[in-house]
Amino acid sequence: MNPRRRTFLLGLGALAPAAAWERESAAIYSQRRRALAEAVGGGLIVVLGYDEYEGRSGYSSFRQESHFYYLTGHNEPGAALAIAPESGRRPYREILFVPEADAHASKWLGPRLGIDDAGELGVDEVLSRSAMEPQARMLLKERKRLYGLLPGGPGRDRNAAERLLARLQEVCRRKDVRDIRSRLARLRAVKSTGEIATIQKAVDASIEAHLAAWKVIRPGVTEQQVAGAMVGAALTAGCERMAYPPIVGSGLNSTILHYDRNDATLAAGGVVLMDVGGEYSRYAADITRTVPVSGVFSDRRRKIYDLVLGAQKQAVAAVKPGARLYAHGPSGLTGIVERWFERHGEPGIGSRFTHGLGHHVGLDVHDPRPPEDELQRGMVLTIEPGLYLPDEGFGVRIEDMVVVTDDGCRTMTGRLPKEAEAIEAIMAA
């Protein structure tokens, strides 16, 4: 436990739960806020955390807005952040706004960080949430532009952050309002050492989930029972929740990319595709394996499996700084996979690869795509080619997570076997 975290817990007093939540040092979050300020130059940046309602979905506990968490490490509802970059004679300022102590909220939700405790998070100034609007208006008087998270697309209901931006814009009519998503995406794409270590923990726990599934898979078991074994193993291994609904598709369901009904029964002779990953201290894992229901691949399924595996290995081997994830040309990882299917598969098989080759992973399972396609050291991404043959009743996807190193990459999911023989050996054990 680092000293900062110890103080943080002491600040909460005797009521603090012995949570295993891992947060980076206050200095790291401070660097991120400074880097964002530098990236925008002048203006005022306003980022809102989620409120209690926005942060809940289904049975899941509160889940903070990802950009806000990235900049603060603050994991409770109703907070906000303002960053005023240095501008002329105006010095840099950063303010965290937190809800005032509320007896009703602490009765229902447990103890919350008050203004005094929130100082431990390392933001220069901490004020009450009710001071947010007047402070933002004051800071905007001296600055030309307002930056924030603008609505992601048309037709969506605005969330609290978007409503606040709209209100501030109305109040300060002359202000130019700009989105900071692409700047945040660029910062978030390159992971810190601490983030890579935390993602590895999400990966390790998710590997336990996959290994647990292989122990229960056999004809007659339901997809839901497989999903249950996986969720149980991930949570037992330290995940606080799943990173997305478990996808357990057997037979024809393995050809549905985001199948999550999980209501069919596993039939002999087929395959079952499991795209399942958990979250550890907010960081996601995303892993897919496709295994034979009866423990041994049929000839046709094995042929397609090895074709996908070959493509997947080629792409992983080509990951390095400067390589491009989505490009089709010689430096493009997607191009490498397409050419592999053309050269090694039957005619037209490449058209059965129907989705992107991979994506960035971090605080979100689909981390925001940075504006540039070129990979850099410290980026974490999935490599997940697949082939889907609904006319033959099955699909195969193999998904690993890699972290880009100085001259290549390290496969974070390397401990989970993907060779057909290795999978069959474990299932037979």
Instruction: Tell me the C-alpha distance between 43 and 83, whole Å.
Output: 9
| Tokens (6 digits) for 174 | 């002359």
Q: Which residues bind Mn ion (CB under 5 A)?
A: 286, 382
Q: Specify the 3-state DSSP secondary structure of 58.
A: coil
Select 118 or 231, whichever has its Cβ closest to Mn ion: 231
CB of 61 to Mn ion, least distance (A): 23
Three-point CA angle 46, 111, 14, nearest 5°: 130
Q: Answer whether 95's CB lies under 8 Å from 126's CB.
A: yes
Select 72 or 206, whichever has its Cβ closest to Mn ion: 206
82 Cβ partners below 8 Å, 6+ apart?
Answer: 44, 45, 46, 93, 94, 95, 97, 132, 135, 136, 139
CB of 275 to Mn ion, least distance (A): 7
Adjacent-strand bridge partners of 106: none
CB of 289 to Mn ion, least distance (A): 12
Select 195 or 367, whichever has its Cβ closest to Mn ion: 367
CB of 200 to Mn ion, least distance (A): 17
Select 291 or 357, whichever has its Cβ closest to Mn ion: 357
Q: Tell me which residue has its CB nearest to Mn ion.
A: 286
44 Cβ partners below 8 Å, 6+ apart?
Answer: 82, 83, 84, 136, 139, 140, 143, 145, 146, 147
Phi, psi torsion values for 310, nearest 5 degrees: -60, -45
Instruction: For residue 40, count other CB atoms closer than 10 A to its CB.
Output: 16
Q: Answer whether 277's CB lies under 8 Å from 227's CB.
A: no
CB of 248 to Mn ion, least distance (A): 15
Select 148 or 368, whichever has its Cβ closest to Mn ion: 368
CB of 284 to Mn ion, least distance (A): 9
Select 206 or 294, whichever has its Cβ closest to Mn ion: 206
Closest to 97 measured CA to CA, from 49, 64, 138: 49
CB of 341 to Mn ion, least distance (A): 19
How distant is the alpha carbon of residue 216 from its chain centre?
28
Select 98 or 402, whichever has its Cβ closest to Mn ion: 402
Instruction: For residue 252, count other CB atoms closer than 10 A to its CB.
Output: 17
Q: Answer whether 145's CB lies under 8 Å from 44's CB.
A: yes
CB of 400 to Mn ion, least distance (A): 10
Select 94 or 364, whichever has its Cβ closest to Mn ion: 364
